[in-house]
Amino acid sequence: MIRQLLFALTLTLSAVSFAAGNQRIISADSGSTELLVAFGLQDQLIAIDVTSTQPDTDNPLPSIGYHRNLSAEGIMSMNPDILIGSNHMGPDHVIKQLKQSPVKLIQLPVAHTTEQLNQNIHTLAQQLGQPHLGNSLIEENKKTLQQLQAQSLQQENAVFLLSMDSKLRMAGRKTGGGALIALTGAQNLADYDNYRSISVEALVAMQPSIILVSTRDPQDGIRKFLDSNPLLKHTPAGQHGKIYAVDGRTIVSGGLSVSALAEAKRLSDKAQASASLADAKHQE
C-alpha cells in the first residue's frame, strides 16, 4: 500500500514539474542533446551520455555512460522527469524497466534523411510541450538545405573516412558520413551500407575528387592524416586541395544532426571556393 502511494505521489510530482516547464531532463543521445541545446533548454539537462558534447552550462553535466549500456538504477537515482534518446538505447531489459517507471521516455529514430531529422525535431518539441521551438528550428534547417541545393556538389565524387589506429574505414549508405556526403549533393563512391575497411591503394584507384576525414583536430588533423597516408596526395582530391577535415562530433549519433547540416554547408562552401580558385588560375 505504501509503495503504491509513493508511486502515485511520484507520478503527481512529475506531472506538476512537466506542466510547469521546470523539467529535469537526461539525454542519452548526442543528437537529442544537440536538439535540446538548439531549443535553448540546456539548463534543464541534468545528465548526458558519453557521446554527447558538454553544453555551455555553469557546471559540467554528469555522464550516464554509453547509450547502449544504460543502468535503470543509475538513471532513476538522478530523479529525472524525462529521458530522451534514440531507438538504439539499451539494453532491452533496462528500457523495459524505464517504461514501467514514472519517467517520461522519448525515443527518436536515428535520422538518415533531412525529412526524418525534421520529424524528430517536431516530435521532440511536441513531447516537451513547446511546438514553437521545433517550428523555428525546422525553418532554419529548410533555409540551410536551400543553400546547399543552390550550390550542390553533384559533379563531385566523394568518400568519407574514419581513420582509426592507422586503419581506414569508408562510410557507405545508412551512416552519418554517407548522410553528410548526400547533403552536399556529391556522389558517394561507397556503394554499400555501413562502414568497411579500405586500403590506401584502393582509395587511390577510386580517384575521389573530394575526401572527407573525420577528426577532432581541425587544425592539424589533415596534415597528420596525409603524413600517414601520402599516396592520397595523388588523387584528384589531393591534387586540388579538396581533402577536408570534418568535425567528428557532428555525426557521432550515426545519423544526421543540426550540426551536420551546418558542417555540410561549411564543406560545400570550401569546395566551391576551391573550384573558383582553380578556375581563376586556369584563366591566368
d(CA 200, CA 230): 9
60-75 as b/e: b if 16+ CB within 10 A: ebeebeebeebebeeb
d(CA 189, CA 197): 14
**181-234 confidence digits (pLDDT tens):** 999 999 999 999 999 999 999 999 999 999 999 987 766 789 889 999 999 999
| Structural domains in the chain plus CATH codes | 2-108 (3.40.50.1980), 153-283 (3.40.50.1980)
Would you state the pLDDT for residue 81?
98
Would you state the pLDDT for residue 161?
96
Asked if residues 128 and 40 have their Cβ atoms less than 8 Å apart, the reply is no
3-state helix, strand, coil in the chain (%, to 5): 50, 20, 35
Closest residue by Cα to residue 252 from 65, 61, 30: 30
Would you state the pLDDT for residue 22?
80
Would you state the pLDDT for residue 165?
73
Would you state the pLDDT for residue 249?
80
Would you state the pLDDT for residue 198?
96
Average of per-residue pLDDT across 58-83: 95
Contacts of 4 (CB under 8 A, 6+ apart): none
Residue 154's pLDDT band (cuts 50, 70, 90) = very high
Apex CA 186: angle with CA 144 and CA 31, to 5°?
50
**222-263 confidence digits (pLDDT tens):** 988 999 999 999 999 999 999 999 988 887 666 788 999 999
Residue 50's pLDDT band (cuts 50, 70, 90) = very high
Closest residue by Cα to residue 29 from 7, 49, 44: 49
Residue 281's pLDDT band (cuts 50, 70, 90) = low
Give the rounded distance of the alpha carbon of 30 from its chain centre: 6
Residue 283's pLDDT band (cuts 50, 70, 90) = low
pLDDT at 16 over 60: no
